[in-house]
Amino acid sequence: MASPLILYGSLVDSISLTHLRYLSNALICINQHGIIDWLVPNVPSSSVASVLSEKGLKGTQVTQLKKGQFLSPGFIDTHTHAPQHPNLGTGGQYQLLDWLENVTFPREARFKDVDYSRKVYERVVKRTLDLGTTTSCYYGSLHLESTKVLADVVHAGGQRGFVGKCNMDSNCPSTYIEPSPSASIADTVSLISHIRSLPASSPTSTPLVQPIITPRFAISCSAPLLQGLGDLVRSEKEAGTEVAVQTHLGENHGEIAFTKEIFAGANERGGMKNGWDGSYAGVYESFGLLGERTILAHCVHLEETELQTIKRTNSGISHCPTSNLNLRSGCAKVGEMLERGIKVGLGTDCSGGYESGILSQIRSASTTSKLISMASPSSAPSSPETPPPEAATSTPRYSTLPQLPLPTLFHLATLGGASLCGLDKVVGNFEVGKEFDALLVDLGEERGNGALWFDEEEGGEEGWLEGGFEQWIWTGDDRNIAKVWVQGRLVGGKDL
Ligand code: GUN
Ligand code: FE
């Protein structure tokens, strides 16, 4: 039997929307299946050997973290487009619909070429792992074969992920469109079985790669296609093999107007069976595509009824702040969503967003929340930055705060993202029994990030952790991510 991985040092994780946990001298044991077996905080170094003996692990090798190093849960990217990564940093002059036509569809069309796809996808998976993304929700292109390759590459790279091929049979260029609803659905079914056939790393562990049904957005899908996908979601659920869904919602004013126009027409022609409330979210709901495993990207411009629909169906929202600023889509009102108890995670939305990691999305989400409060200064006091203590057990009134507090931002990046993906019982923090998806963060100057001014002498033996963590969030980058584990396996980071 392989011996467990035992780490000894500091860690930070999210335990709720309002609370971070900082532990020093924690002894943590990860078993051979990658599961956190036990965690003992505040173990003096003189007691490490005796704790190990008590646990029946006398003499097992312990990896000791240095001062300036700590463990963080891995990041969860709840929305990204793998085939768009070669476009990163281009196209920011456009808004959504022109950007799709001029920049994005031409790039994605190239993924007909499976060899090209493999080359790109290998780089995407390696790069995002090194940036600390341990779970990623991937859109592929519309192509079945290249999206199978994406799933293979995610699996081989040891990243946790959801992989879907785009469904798109309408309002797309003739060079990049599916021929019919039935072809689109047949390819989706084929991708789902391919992904389910990928081997788990051990008989007891959760499969790392899961399928996700991916209607690109309502505009690109005919009513029969959305109906077919809704039927597929229902039949999978009835078979006990519930499958996740991801799509876009309420990103841009032109997109919303066009969506309503298209589906008002479909409704008049009797194309929408289950009743439709006239909203964009209502399109997805009427075809059975909203449920607790649905991830809705963007949600910048939502109507009251749409917020209610999302809450009622227990769907979740992927907040993609860099993309929303870059394509001038707007500022999503995350505070309002959280106040209503809607699940929210962060997404890079590459290449609508030009940054592939989640640390940068934490910063963009903060900027977005500050822009919102600056636009309505009367409702936003200048302090406090953190919720008052009485809010400890309830959700703070985010709309009265001048910005999203750090514990909330970090929650979105980790545990909140896990909930959105239906993985909050599996990953997202260091609760005993969860799988070990984690980063070893190193604030040391020798890591070469001159922007991060961490001073070992400040804060004493234990007090450095809170300040150092905050500095990492705002000035850290991949140079400070020394190791990345998924399910206890070392799969990325600068030390690999
Ligand atoms: N809506 C439909 N397709 C896309 C896409 O690729 N990116 C973004 N940001 N929005 C979309
Ligand atoms: Fe997107």
CA distance 193 to 163: 12
User: Among 77, 79, 81, 328, which residue has the most ligand 1 atoms within 8 Å of its CB, making it the best to mutate?
Assistant: 81
CA distance 251 to 330: 8
pLDDT at 137: 99
At residue 456 the predicted structure's pLDDT band, cuts being 50, 70 and 90, is: confident
pLDDT > 70 fraction of the chain, expressed in percent and rounded? 96
Least-confidence region, from 10-24, 305-319, 394-408, 479-493: 394-408
Structural domains counted in the chain = 2
Q: Is 360 in the pocket of ligand 1 (CB under 6 A)?
A: no
**88 alpha carbon to ligand 2 midpoint, in Å?**
13
pLDDT at 1: 56
pLDDT at 302 over 70: yes
Domain end point (choices 369, 394, 420): 420
Point out the ligand 1 atom lying closest to the alpha carbon of residue 320. Answer: 9
Q: Is 329 in the pocket of ligand 1 (CB under 6 A)?
A: no
Which of the 8 DSSP states describes residue 64? E
pLDDT at 380 over 90: no
Mean pLDDT (the chain) is 95
Residues 53 and 95 in one domain: no
Domain end point (choices 420, 454, 484): 420
Q: Is 104 in the pocket of ligand 1 (CB under 6 A)?
A: yes
Residues 43 and 104 in one domain: no
For residues 67-92, give the mean pLDDT. Answer: 98
The reply to whether 425 falls in a domain is no
Pick the residue with more confidence: 458 or 281?
281
For residues 155-166, give the mean pLDDT. Answer: 98
For residues 141-146, give the mean pLDDT. Answer: 98
User: Among 96, 102, 256, 262, which residue has the most ligand 1 atoms within 8 Å of its CB, making it the best to mutate?
Assistant: 96
- Is residue 429 within 8 A of residue 26, CB to CB? The reply is no
CA distance 111 to 115: 9
pLDDT at 62: 98
CATH of the domain at 63: 2.30.40.10
pLDDT at 402: 92
Residues 354 and 213 in one domain: yes
In this structure, the residue with its CA closest to atom 11 of ligand 1 is: 248
Residues 59 and 85 in one domain: no
Q: What is the pLDDT of residues 214-240, one digit of tens each?
A: 999 999 999 999 999 999 999 999 999
Residues 21 and 83 in one domain: no
- Domain containing 16 equals 5-73+430-492
Domain end point (choices 374, 389, 420): 420
CA distance 337 to 301: 12
pLDDT at 353 over 80: yes
**474 alpha carbon to ligand 1 midpoint, in Å?**
28
CATH of the domain at 241: 3.20.20.140
- Strand 133-139, strand 75-81: pairing: parallel
The reply to whether 470 falls in a domain is yes
What is the model's pTM?
0.97
pLDDT at 386: 53
Residues 69 and 79 in one domain: no
The reply to whether 43 falls in a domain is yes
First-last CA distance in the chain: 24
pLDDT at 390: 47
- Nearest bound ligand to CA 141? 1
The reply to whether 243 falls in a domain is yes
The reply to whether 398 falls in a domain is yes
Tokens, residue 338: 């959280």
